[in-house]
Amino acid sequence: MVMQHFKKLADIHRFNGFPMPENPLFSIHRCTQTCGLGDREFTSDFYMIGLKKLKSGVIMYGRTKYDNDSGSMIFIKPRQIIEFKNVEYDEDAFIIFIHEDFLHGHFLHTEISKYAFFDYETNEALHLSPSEEQIMWDLYRKIDTEYHNNTDEYSRDIILTHIDSILKYSRRFYKRQFINRTELSGKTVSKFNEALAAYFENGLLLTQGLPSVNALATQLNLSTRYLSDMLKQETGKTAIELIHIYLVNEAKNRLKTNDQSISEIAYDLGFENLPYFSRLFKKETGVSPVQFKKGLVN
């Protein structure tokens, strides 16, 4: 069976029995306790922002099962696979559809791609406190009022201003969630460093090359963007920056204690390109590997 792809908002509204959209490029829908979005995998040309408190059923985002603990928001980008199965909600939910073309010429056209949570998996959904839920519902109601008013030259900007507020609040609430969940589950950076150390100890540098953020995130059962944002919250550095620091520290140790040549050390650390290794080393330490090996730095 060919996967369903929705190019037009009217098509996804019609498919799910929703009222036809007031705007061909933007729509909102308040769900009752039993509404869903079909019963099979689909993709679309629009962003979707939803607040859902699941009672039963399963939502799949990518290939990951939705975490249905508490009132959760999910953020879906265009052409991302999503699936709803026998979904029922504890309370009313809402979903906002924003076609890519609705953003043309507006600052959100560029800014929306900077919100990393559109690349999170659903088991990394945003979990809201009651007061945070109220903020989101208030913004939804403002959008709903504008959406059903007679359209004029201000409508799009007003709607997108409220969307921008939803995204900014979401980033704030995610930051709070990172802190809370870190306290509950242990430091992400510790687990990350353990995964890096295991990568070295298991000889994967020689068989698989330099460790990638994606490989380590997979090992930790996180998406790459969520892992980097968690690490940034804990350490001020992204996953790739921490990988570089780890590699350079290992290189420094070997340069001081081994009789190997610089090129041999670089190769053993997974670098196929010696100039790249040298540039990275100098960027992190301020000196070249040659200078470091000769003891021209403390």
Q: Which residues contact 205 (CB under 8 A, 6 or more apart)?
A: 199, 211, 268, 269, 270
In a domain, 298, yes or no: no
Q: Do 177 and 200 reside in the same domain of the chain?
A: no
Domain boundary among 185, 218, 235: 185
Q: For residue range 74-88, what is the model confidence (pLDDT) as tens digits?
A: 888 888 777 777 666
User: Splitting the chain (298 residues) into consecutive groups of 10 residues, what average pLDDT does each group show?
Assistant: 82 88 92 66 87 69 55 80 70 87 90 80 74 94 92 91 95 82 61 84 81 86 83 80 85 79 86 87 87 68
Q: How many domains does the chain have?
A: 2
Task: Tell me the CATH number at 223.
Answer: 1.10.10.60
In a domain, 245, yes or no: yes
Q: Do 158 and 198 reside in the same domain of the chain?
A: no
Residue 12 has φ and ψ, to the nearest 5°, of: -70, -30
Q: Do 167 and 240 reside in the same domain of the chain?
A: no
Q: Do 64 and 165 reside in the same domain of the chain?
A: yes
Mean pLDDT, the chain, whole residue set: 82
Q: Do 177 and 220 reside in the same domain of the chain?
A: no
Task: Tell me the CATH number at 82.
Answer: 2.60.120
Q: Do 81 and 198 reside in the same domain of the chain?
A: no
Give CA–CA dist 38/11, Å, rounded: 12
Q: Do 170 and 230 reside in the same domain of the chain?
A: no
Domain boundary among 185, 206, 228: 185
Q: Do 58 and 153 reside in the same domain of the chain?
A: yes
Determine whether 267 is exposed, middle or buried from the number of CB atoms within 10 Å of its CB (0-12, 13-18, 19+). Answer: middle
Give CA–CA dist 270/185, Å, rounded: 31
